[in-house]
Amino acid sequence: MKVKILAAMVVVATVVAMTEASLVPPYPGRDCKHWCKDNNKALYCCGPPGITYPPLIREHPGKCPSVRSTCTGVRSFRPKLCPHDGACDFRSKCCYDACVEHHVCKTVEFY
């Protein structure tokens, strides 16, 4: 019985780790559709080939929230990855998230 419980725990841990790792796969630079800057101003591919995003018609109003310095690891929902504001709802902006290490749609802050 203990072996079955241990095996089930290993399977669950593996699925969780694979889900977290697949959230932001490392994209090679070639064939990149969109380039973004992280919080250190370094460019990375935020629009990999094979994923279609709506066009950026105009930047959404407001500003991105400050980038957090620590991550809690707790999320109420899976973040929506984005290369620009056009991929987000109008009340959101495409902002860098240091915890996800990618741009995600975030609720805007107004000036």
Rounded (5°) CA angle 59-65-76 = 105
**Domain residue limits at 97:** 29-107
Phi and psi for 63 in degrees, rounded to 5?
Answer: -135, 160
The reply to whether 4 falls in a domain is no
The residue that leads in pLDDT, 65 or 1, is 65
The reply to whether 63 falls in a domain is yes
The reply to whether 62 falls in a domain is yes
The reply to whether 64 falls in a domain is yes
The reply to whether 37 falls in a domain is yes
For the stretch 35-60, pLDDT in tens is: 999 988 999 998 878 888 888 888 99
The reply to whether 1 falls in a domain is no
Q: What one-letter code names the amino acid at 16?
A: V
Strand-pair category, 43-47 with 102-107: unpaired
The reply to whether 6 falls in a domain is no
The reply to whether 10 falls in a domain is no
pLDDT at 47: 85
What's the total number of domains in the chain? 1
pTM summary value: 0.68
Whether residue 21 has pLDDT greater than 70? no
**Interatomic CA distance for residues 108 and 111, integer angstroms:** 10
For the stretch 56-97, pLDDT in tens is: 888 999 999 988 888 877 777 888 999 999 999 989 999 999
Q: Which residues share a beta bridge with 95?
A: 104
